[in-house]
Amino acid sequence: MNVKNREIAKILYEMADLLEIKGEDFKPRAYRRAAINIESLAVDIEELYKRNELEKIPGVGKSIAEKIKEYIETGTIKKWEELKKEIPVDIESLSSVEGVGPKMIKVLYEKLGVKNIDDLERVARQGRIRRLKGFGVKTEKKILEAIEFARKKYGRFILGYVLPEAMQIVDVLKPHVSKISLAGSIRRRKETVGDVDILAVSPKPKEVMDIFTSMNGVETVLAKGITKSSIRMSSGIQIDLRIVEESSFGSALQYFTGSKEHNIALRKIAIKRGWKLNEYGLFEGEKKIAGREEEEIYEKLGMQWIPPELRENRGEIEAAMMHALPELVDYNDIKGDLHTHTKWSDGANTIEEMAMEAKRIGHEYIAITDHAGRLRVAGSMDEAAIKEQAREIERLRERIDGIEILHGVEANIMKDGSIDISNEVMKELDFVIASIHSAFRMEEKEMTSRLIKAMGNEHVKIIGHPTGRILMKRDAIKLDMDAVLDAAKDNGIVMEINAYPERLDLNDINVKLAIEHGVKLSIGTDSHNREHLRYYELGVAVARRGWAERKHIINTMHAKELKKFLSR
């Protein structure tokens, strides 16, 4: 995502929280809605500003447009500065603690003077939170647990949010280098990254480093040299750029891509052959026998080139030795999206807008799967609304060419494992995703039977975000995954790889497990506006990290084939 877009979204979120703490009713929601939409804009917000089109962003009215303008022109927003002065709390760190939101922050600040995580931990340990009205020993204990969790995960960044920024930096540098690549965990597409590693070759390293350290969005230059520089961006992420000799670009890329565990295993193999492997090359005595290309290194060591997503020392080296690596699903194998929301529930765009964007990015089909059911989550549709939506989709199918619209819903799995819409309604749909949206804290045995019962419903086809985890915020529900996957296999249930940046659920490990159990997978973006549709690539990344091939992912099928599969 564009750096300015994110800066502005972040400020609007913070203003929303501050306004909520002040007790404002309506404004916080408006600010959040604007922030969500800005966060996922495909275009540079400064472009819209230049064209005087800020108000075209959904949720941005006159007053918010003024504030964006002010930020672009002056670098700050007066109202924001005032709010921060009035309520001097570190909202970002406090709300990184699961279960702590603006309402609670307000009380904690007013009654106990809590301004940051350290304050929060102190008052919780002193037993002062339990004495507040509406709080109890249990809340206090949960807060302490959540603080520990937040601390542990602190300092990592969500892949889906960092990747566009990293790619943009690569684009900025590209005209000035002869070779460039992402390396490290971001090249391996790990779900969170500690920092961004970039590797380049250039005849003019000094010039490249000057550009790198003075780009838009650089907050601090941590180190600057001819071969390595590090910067911190205003988004908080650190970026390392290394410039290496052309003759060792391949070995440097191999080395700095990691993972460390993969590298250690690889180096052992080199040593066994009497060679030495490091970032400068593969050496036989003093003689360099490979280093220019990454492929050469793997070849000389007697194995297939290993895609970066697999380099975690989870068996990929053994498989590559036997020339038995899986033929991974490719980023352009995905034919359509199987999990999207529209204005019919909590999405920001209409069905037509979603369909047109899906067509634009090259999909053959899009499934509209709004929330449905009695449980009051996220603007759920009732049964009458589902029927009305079906008629709307029928009309659009006649009107729009070049993209097929499938009609599904995302239904809730109740505490007892039942689905909270009727079989009669589900029967009429192309397919049903069933997801858990409530009662996350059940014990493993109960939770496992709850999910297995849901999979027994003959109208359920896909389990949405099966473990419910939110990266850096909420742990996975407790499940006996082997039992769940056995039941999925028996019932012909597909497990989703939810591609929304904060979910990536199933994760890589569970994807591999699902495949071993013979369970099919689907990739769904869980889009809540049309810009999110591009997240399918994150889903593919998870699939690849889980060793998935094309045949394992149902939305690599063409529309006709897929519809046949869904109607079985």
Nearest to Zn ion of 201, 372 (CB atom): 372
529: contact with ligand DGT by CB under 6 A:
no
Contact region with Zn ion (CB under 5 A), list: 145-153, 233-241, 384-392, 429-437: 429-437
Rg, C-alpha atoms of the chain: 25
Amino acid at 555: N
Size of the site for Zn ion (CB under 5 A): 1
191: contact with Ca ion by CB under 5 A:
no
Pull the structure tokens for residue 208.
């490249």
What, of ligand DGT, Zn ion, Ca ion, none, does residue 263 touch, CB below 5 to 8 Å by kind?
ligand DGT
Give the whole-angstrom CA distance, residue 291 versus residue 403. Answer: 46
410: contact with Ca ion by CB under 5 A:
no
Nearest to ligand DGT of 189, 341 (CB atom): 189
Q: Which helix (H) or strand (E) holds 250?
A: helix 249-257
Which one, of 239, 179, 243, lies nearest residue 207 by Cα? 243
Size of the site for ligand DGT (CB under 6 A): 14
DSSP letter string, 300-328: HTTS----GGGTTTSSHHHHHHTT----B
Give the whole-angstrom CA distance, residue 320 versus residue 298. Answer: 9
What, of Zn ion, ligand DGT, Ca ion, none, does residue 256 touch, CB below 5 to 8 Å by kind?
ligand DGT
Nearest to ligand DGT of 112, 159 (CB atom): 159
Nearest to ligand DGT of 251, 435 (CB atom): 251
Smallest gap from Cβ 238 to ligand DGT, in A, equals 9
- Residue 477 gets which letter from DSSP? P
Residue 168 CB burial class (10 angstroms; 0-12, 13-18, ≥19)? middle
Nearest to Zn ion of 435, 522 (CB atom): 435
Name which of residues 157 to 186 contact ligand DGT (CB under 6 A).
Answer: 184-185
What b/e sequence results for 78-110 when a residue is b if at least 16 CB atoms lie within 10 Å of its CB, and e otherwise?
eebeebeeebebbbebbbbbbebebebbbbbbe
Pull the structure tokens for residue 251.
């070995």
Residue nearest Ca ion, CB atom distance: 184
Which one, of 71, 63, 15, lies nearest residue 45 by Cα? 71
Name which of residues 184 to 203 contact ligand DGT (CB under 6 A).
Answer: 184-185, 190, 193-195, 197
SS3 514: helix
Smallest gap from Cβ 78 to Zn ion, in A, equals 38
Smallest gap from Cβ 221 to ligand DGT, in A, equals 18
Contact region with ligand DGT (CB under 6 A), list: 132-140, 258-266, 428-436, 508-516: 258-266
Nearest to ligand DGT of 255, 344 (CB atom): 255
Contact region with Ca ion (CB under 5 A), list: 14-22, 189-197, 271-279, 437-445: 189-197
229: contact with ligand DGT by CB under 6 A:
no
197: contact with Ca ion by CB under 5 A:
yes
Nearest to ligand DGT of 162, 436 (CB atom): 162
**Ramachandran assignment for 379, one of left (phi > 0), alpha (psi -120 to 50 degrees), beta (any other):** left
**Ramachandran assignment for 258, one of left (phi > 0), alpha (psi -120 to 50 degrees), beta (any other):** left
Contact set with Zn ion (CB under 5 A): 435
Q: In the complex, which residues of this chain contact ligand DGT (CB under 6 A)? A: 184-185, 190, 193-195, 197, 255-256, 258-260, 263-264
